[in-house]
């Protein structure tokens, strides 16, 4: 059984729709203050239990970077037991993640990418009023603590369209997790073992994922990846216009790149025209697989964003179930008004968050092998047309009869602006951190 009362809500609970969210980065300048912060956080953060309570719709969670654990004085043998990617931090992994050129750490927003990022406090609620109330409780935990400084903040909110900035409905597809009480979105996929996402439980390999020591610290924790991704909306619109003549063709091209129409309706279920009712229907909009009727990708190209990031039952090397992830995307910045094709210089994009027990075989694998490479689908160096952050120009192939349509010189539409690998401890573990001997 999953110990839901000990697992932070931020690990398992899907974000509400609509939503308001805030990410606050804290620096620990004084070890004792850091430990007091952990004690207060353990009283403020929400647990994953009571998923149906309305009050449970607004919650605060706290996660800690490797530098943060060091600042708290976690003993070396415990530090060494964390995943090595986490120990290195996101900057050191930039090459592997394709964070190059404009996306490279040298260009990140300060202080992201510096050793000052210690704790990330996330507030999530259905609206600004309830977010403010949840944050007020969190602020009490850090504001009157000399030795703790808030050094960065990002506010996010649902756009009026309830879509992300490129215009697509997001937050549709989520894996079902055994024992979480939270239903999955695709009844054709078997729920995943809880150990894929929460440390201390059996995973899909049949064993237990390497859990940080001691158990009091590692159990019921999860790794979290934060990435601030800038979206070049004008460039995306210009690209659609330059490569498709009529508006309907532009919509089809956008859908082929994503694997879904902007309404959320999957190409797998309506390949020729959009079906907004299907897109909005959570009982139907994720009910599909690929192998049986679309092995080639005539409906959903193998290189589209959603088929790359979750090939489901399509024939790809390896075992797809070992590379699933819990995602939380929240939009920041004002929308670029409809129809505008010139950039207005505003900061807009997606705060991407990944949750899982395996940084390497989940997030890093998907980012490097499925998003930034085409080898797994026999497409050489073709990359994800939506979410790659690397500089090299991409290509994209749309299977068609008699011959595929190939698009070359695909620009990058997403730029990485900074982020970090964090660990979201269980509630008991927060108290363990608070009680570390001096
Ligand atoms: C700004 C960048 C991104 C945008 C605009 C974006 C947008 C979207 C949208 C609109 C969907 C379809 C809705 C849904 O299925 O929930 C989606 C699905 C998904 N995205 Fe992204 N995404 C971005 C970056 C990423 C990154 C960096 C990753 C992984 C490293 C990722 C992984 C996924 C996964 C796993 C799915 C679900 C696929 C499925 O189960 O069918 N996305 N994304």
Cβ(367) to ligand 1 under 6 A? yes
- For each of the chain's 438 residues, which pLDDT tens digit applies? 899 999 999 898 888 889 999 999 999 999 999 999 999 999 999 898 865 555 567 889 999 999 999 999 999 999 999 999 999 999 999 999 999 999 999 999 999 999 999 999 999 999 999 999 889 988 888 888 999 999 999 999 999 998 999 999 999 999 999 998 878 899 999 999 999 999 999 999 999 989 999 999 999 999 999 999 999 999 999 999 999 999 999 999 999 999 999 999 999 999 999 999 999 999 999 999 999 999 999 999 999 999 999 999 999 999 999 999 999 999 999 999 999 999 999 999 999 999 999 999 999 999 999 999 999 998 888 999 999 988 888 889 999 988 999 998 899 999 999 999 999 999 999 999 999 997
H-only helix segments in 45-92: 66-71, 76-79, 84-88
Atom of ligand 1 nearest to the CA of 325: 35
Cβ(310) to ligand 1 under 6 A? yes
User: In 3D, which of 87, 90, 83, 89 has the Cα closest to residue 358?
Assistant: 83
- Gap from CA of 143 to ligand 1 centroid (Å): 35
Question: For the chain, what is the largest distance between any 2 Cα atoms, rounded to a whole number of angstroms?
Answer: 71
Closest C-alpha residue for ligand 1 atom 35: 309
Closest C-alpha residue for ligand 1 atom 19: 306
Atom of ligand 1 nearest to the CA of 363: 30
Atom of ligand 1 nearest to the CA of 168: 10
| 120: enclosing H helix or E strand | strand 119-125
Atom of ligand 1 nearest to the CA of 165: 5
User: In 3D, which of 10, 346, 324, 20 has the Cα closest to residue 158?
Assistant: 20
**Packing angle of the helix pair 247-258, 233-243 (nearest 10 deg):** 120
Give yes or no for a contact between 197 and 222, defined as CB atoms under 8 angstroms apart. yes
**CA-CA distance, 415 to 24, in Å (whole number)?**
21
- Gap from CA of 34 to ligand 1 centroid (Å): 34
Q: Which residues contact 330 (CB under 8 A, 6 or more apart)?
A: 15, 19, 21, 124, 156, 157, 350, 351, 353
* Number of CB atoms found within 10 A of residue 226's CB: 24
Q: Which residues contact 17 (CB under 8 A, 6 or more apart)?
A: 158, 162, 171
Q: DSSP class of residue 361?
A: I
**CA-CA distance, 233 to 239, in Å (whole number)?**
10
Helix (H, G, I), strand (E, B) or coil at 95: helix
């Amino acid at each position: 059984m999953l110990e839901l009362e000990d697992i932070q809500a931020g690990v398992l609970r899907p974000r509400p729709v609509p939503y308001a969210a805030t990410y606050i980065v804290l620096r620990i300048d004084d070890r004792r203050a850091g430990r007091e912060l952990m004690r207060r956080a353990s009283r403020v953060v929400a647990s994953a239990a009571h998923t149906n309570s309305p009050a449970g719709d607004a919650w605060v969670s706290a996660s800690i970077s490797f530098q943060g654990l060091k600042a708290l004085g976690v003993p070396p043998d415990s530090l060494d037991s964390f995943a090595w990617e986490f120990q290195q931090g996101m900057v050191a992994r930039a090459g592997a993640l394709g964070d190059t050129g404009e996306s490279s750490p040298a260009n990140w927003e300060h202080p992201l990418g510096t050793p000052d990022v210690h704790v990330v406090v996330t507030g999530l609620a259905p609206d600004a009023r309830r977010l403010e109330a949840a944050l007020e409780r969190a602020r009490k935990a850090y504001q009157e603590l000399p030795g703790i400084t808030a050094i960065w903040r990002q506010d996010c909110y649902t756009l009026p369209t309830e879509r992300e900035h490129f215009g697509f409905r997001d937050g549709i597809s989520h894996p079902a997790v055994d024992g979480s009480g939270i239903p999955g979105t695709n009844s054709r996929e078997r729920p995943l073992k809880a150990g894929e996402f929460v440390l201390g439980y059996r995973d899909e390999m049949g064993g237990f994922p390497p859990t940080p020591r001691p158990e009091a610290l590692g159990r019921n924790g999860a790794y979290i990846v934060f990435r601030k991704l800038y979206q070049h909306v004008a460039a995306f619109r210009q690209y659609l216009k330059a490569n498709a003549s009529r508006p309907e063709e532009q919509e089809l091209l956008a859908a082929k790149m994503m694997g879904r129409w902007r309404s959320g309706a999957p190409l797998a279920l309506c390949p020729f025209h959009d079906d907004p009712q299907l897109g909005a229907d959570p009982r139907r909009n994720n009910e599909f697989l690929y192998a049986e009727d679309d092995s080639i990708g005539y409906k959903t190209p193998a290189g589209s964003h959603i088929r790359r990031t979750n090939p489901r039952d399509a024939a790809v090397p390896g075992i797809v179930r070992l590379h699933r992830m819990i995602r939380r995307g929240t939009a920041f910045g004002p929308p670029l008004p409809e129809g505008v094709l010139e950039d207005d210089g505003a900061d807009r994009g997606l705060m991407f968050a990944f949750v899982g027990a395996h940084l390497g075989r989940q997030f890093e694998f998907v980012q490097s092998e499925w998003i930034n490479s085409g080898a797994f689908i026999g497409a050489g160096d073709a990359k994800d047309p939506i979410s790659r952050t690397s500089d090299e120009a991409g290509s994209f192939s749309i299977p068609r009869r008699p011959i595929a349509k190939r698009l070359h010189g695909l620009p990058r539409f997403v730029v990485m602006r900074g982020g970090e690998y964090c660990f979201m401890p269980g509630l008991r573990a927060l108290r363990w951190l608070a009680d570390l001997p001096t």
